[in-house]
Chain A
Amino acid sequence: MLDSYLQLAVAETFLQPTGPIARAQLDHLNYVVILTCIAIVPALVALPLILFRYRRKKAGDRYRPNWDSNLGLEVAMWGLPIVVIFLMAISLWSITQRLDPYEELGKDPLEIKVIGLDWKWVFLYPEEKVAFVDELIVPVGRPVELEMTSDTVMQSLRISALVGQIYAMPAMTTKLNFIASDAGEARGMNTQFTGRGMWRQKFLVHSVPTDEYQQRIAEARQSPITLNEQTYAILAQQGTAEEAKTPLGITVLEGPLETQGTATVVAERDVPVGQGIAMRLPEPKIFQRVLARYKTGVPMTPETQPGSPSYDPAKASLPPLTAVRMEM
């Protein structure tokens, strides 16, 4: 019962913020709305009044066909928007600088590398030597820094309730810093159109207390599946995380969501539908090797480029870091 309640309680938007950044964004939205209303409400109120007062039938001696300028009115017309925009520009400048997605939000942030694939996200925890597909686990109160790239076309990673979005682009890296202040679950997704599975590319962010975080990481270290070149090549095939489970050798337990919590676990690899994949990560340089793939000086081919319709996991090996021939 509690499980199903939590399923519904996923924070989907920054209107229900679970971290300080999204909360600041919501406050700024309110400020912008109120400030803009100062300029637009007069116009919206004036229009019907003018239409009524100066309708043809009744305009009468109010009709002034040659009236076309008035210095005081002119000053007000330019002045009001200038003042409003000036005030807004000040707050825009300061909040944009304050909510810098590249700025670390405290000492010792948890560093997570993110690879966007068609149509799933791979989260690498190099220090913890674990990885998750379509599941992001962060400890409450500890700053987090995502460093992102894409190994297909451009994507955009958004976690609305915590921070918003930044693009993940092939051969490039971007950063997104946030911190979760409340325990709970938030929705993350790709918002950039990447083809037919794009709207399935969603994941849950679990913000959990530190001891639970340690426990989840420890469990993941016990996972029977390892993220290495071969399993990565399988993940890089087009398809959702759900569709990647079978090729990875995971049995997906069928059945309605609410019975899954009590379903008998048949083997260690069995996971319920909709749950991400936890993996061991013995070789933490996968992220760098994904970037290196585009900088070896050897052109990509339809067989080696993830996202291409003829992509072949058997032929698409990740190069060693020593193969890089171009500026990183």
Chain B
Amino acid sequence: MREFFQLFATPGFYAMILQLSTPLVFAALAALVSNKAGVLNIGIEGAMVSAALSAALLSTLTGSAALGVLAGVLAGILMGLFFALCAVRLRTNHILVGIATNILASGVAVFIIYAVTGNKSDYPGIAMTPWNVPILKELPFIGEILFQNANPLIYLAVIAVIAVRFLFRRTVLGVRILAVGKNEVAAASVGISPARVKTIALMIAGGLAGFGGAYLSLGYMSGFNTGMVAGRGFIGIAAEAIGAGHPVATALFAVLFGAVNAFSLAAQTFPSFAIPYELLNTLPYLTTTIGLVIYSVLRYRKAHPSPTHKEIKP
């Protein structure tokens, strides 16, 4: 039990939560932008895989982590464009396109690293230099969590949440995405092209997923390996569903899942903890499932309220 309290008193644990939440926040925002456009985009996972690999490849090729991140984002946007091409232009079922892009991404990833390195599982990358914010890093506790050895993409994730909120509140594109997502026919009747708007939304989503993927291979780790996205795209979709379309709520749920993930990793190091680590590793996925169930029960109750809950007479 003492280890528990110690864990929650260590700044390092909170820093780890931030690290593990960052890719989830990007994935959740990608899901949010797609969903607002009326597309259930399960291809986020695949977009993250391609982005993680492209980022690692470009970083070693050019020697620059920044160019690597850029490549990751571009790969994500291209995956979004591919999704839009299939789902919007060619009118294929969204779920099938999502499955296809996910399988395609992981298959192509294995092919590329085998072709380049001869092994089938990993590829090295040049990690981004973490930031140490002067003065602020001296703050007790908080400084250690937020401003020491922090990856720039962690800050960018926060900015992305604000940017997505801004997109839907203040820009013409945002209102058009909302309109297309809620009532495509109505949007088309005033001369908006739903196909175009959806394509743009899916590319934005792809770019966000791209940041998440690039962070995994150049921030969280330094290099790509085939299992590294590990369902984070799907956890992001779950966080978005529970966040009910609000960017801030969505990001907070992504952080919650990140916290569970951090806990499951930290708990493995407790000597007195008898739970096998395989079981602990399932914790993030288990919480996601439970979270989704609770969310959908609440939503059902809201949609089908019983008027007074009075007893049923015989």
Whether both chains belong to one complex is answered with: no
Q: Which of B's residues lie within 8 Å of A, judged by CB?
A: none
